[in-house]
Amino acid sequence: MGIPSTLEEFDVPMFIIGNEPELSICTPGDIGDIFGGPTPCTAADINREIVEFAHREDFVLQGYSGSSFVRYVDDMSVVDLGTGNESADWNSAVNAVGIIWLKPETEGNTALFERAADNDLEGLILINDRQNCDELVADDCVPYFKSVGISSIDPIPESLGFIMVSRSVGQTIIDGVINGDARLQFITDVNNQGTATIHVPCGIIEGQSESLIIFGAHHDTVYNGQGAVDDTSGVATVQEIARQFGLLESLLGTPKHTIYFCTWGGEEEGLWGSTEWVDKHQTMLAENLRLYVNLDMNHVDAERNSGVTFFGNNKADIDLIKGITSVFSSAYPELADKYSISIHKHSSTAMPYNSDHAPFVYNLDDDEGSDKDYGRAIVCYGSGSSEYHTYLDTMDRFNEESLMVSGIIYGSLVRYLAYGEAQ
């Protein structure tokens, strides 16, 4: 049985990738010292050696990167800025390409991108030396996508390419260009000044009251990967819960609460779909939101299993989750033994601002003072997805069984809120 649905559209700031980005280095051949002779690394330099790097596998554009056009003929300087903190010699990279080592202490993309723009860099390259190292590719760290908080940068630099490379590619560039005679070619064609239309579909089961419970997951993924875990897992879980609540409605009648099943666009670039939807419906949500349930990467890799984590900002909700988890463990002992479950209560101000639950917690009340009202939300995180935001986030390692844990427990929680004790 189908349920009624809505589809809303929002125009949001977005980057648009044009031509395929290029990254390569060229070591000039033996062209001699004659004035007016062949230019190094051009077609006339027949002994040149070129190493080309593969887009998505070897390097990945970062969110809201601008356009760079650095060619071999420019013989552009490349400067190693270490971890790129404020004390780094950014002035040495003016009109050059800067390299940053991404380590545990390295700041986020927004701070680095802004610093590069302020110092007139021609391009910025992050070397991944922090995440998924040796887990996906032996002796290497695969590059991944992260966005930039554009609200902190005004204006957004149009002519500043921003990429992440694997550790091996970064070392190759340092050895060949910084410590050798090679030249860099770094071309990105990205329009980061425009907008794009994103979509928010919601299935709706009308309740006996205007009190709202909302399930949500983001249907977009990073441009460089299929997004099997992030966040096909969450969307699939929301859809299955919606299907089952459609059946429950036909059996048990109208629920006490109105229940929404939404998926959000534009999450990876800046939580755009959920933020815009909350802003549009702020009054309704401030008055009626009972609970928002977020399912983002609620998947557990069976071979790297460290279980699931449930958390929220309301004690009553957390107590209910603990009770339902106990019942779940009795009803599904094999799943409970296989997937450990961790449950935490956070204060509202300690809820992380890293997924679509955040606007529902923080944006229902514009007051930023001590009297601010916060929305109630619960979140599920899975574990073991080293492929996060890389080209390797495919269905090859997908473990659909693991979705049952959050699907059953969170679905049962809302079933209890909507219909009371099971008879």
Cα distances (Å, whole numbers) of residue 164 to 109, 141, 143, 171, 256:
10, 11, 6, 13, 49
Q: Percentage of the chain surpassing pLDDT 90?
A: 93
pTM given for the model = 0.95
**Which tokens go with 58?**
């070897």
- Per-residue confidence band for 2, with pLDDT thresholds at 50, 70 and 90: confident
75 close to 183: Cβ distance less than 8 angstroms: yes
Average pLDDT across the chain, whole number:
96
Residue 423 reports pLDDT greater than 60 = no
> Which of these, 147, 194, 162, lies nearest to 66 by C-alpha position?
162
- Give the position of tokens 């450990």: 340
Q: What average pLDDT does the segment 337-347 reach?
A: 97
Q: Where are the domains of the chain?
A: 5-11+194-419, 19-188
What top-level class would CATH report for the domain 19-188? alpha beta
Length of the chain: 423
pLDDT at 35: 62
pLDDT tens-place string over residues 162-204: 999 999 999 999 999 999 999 999 999 999 999 999 999 999 9
Pick the CATH number of 5-11+194-419 from 3.20.20.370, 3.40.50.10610, 3.90.1150.60, 3.40.630.10: 3.40.630.10
pLDDT at 163: 99
206 close to 288: Cβ distance less than 8 angstroms: no
pLDDT tens-place string over residues 100-129: 999 999 999 999 999 999 999 999 999 999
pLDDT at 38: 80
pLDDT at 237: 99
Q: What average pLDDT does the segment 333-350 reach?
A: 97
Q: Are strands 289-295 and 341-345 parallel, antiparallel or unpaired?
A: unpaired
pLDDT tens-place string over residues 36-86: 678 899 988 989 999 999 999 999 999 999 999 999 999 999 999 999 999
> Which of these, 190, 241, 256, 138, lies nearest to 20 by C-alpha position?
190
Helices 233-252 and 403-419 pack at an angle, to 10 degrees, of: 30
pLDDT tens-place string over residues 12-31: 999 999 999 999 999 999 87
Phi-psi region of 146 (alpha: psi -120 to 50; beta: other; left: phi over 0): beta
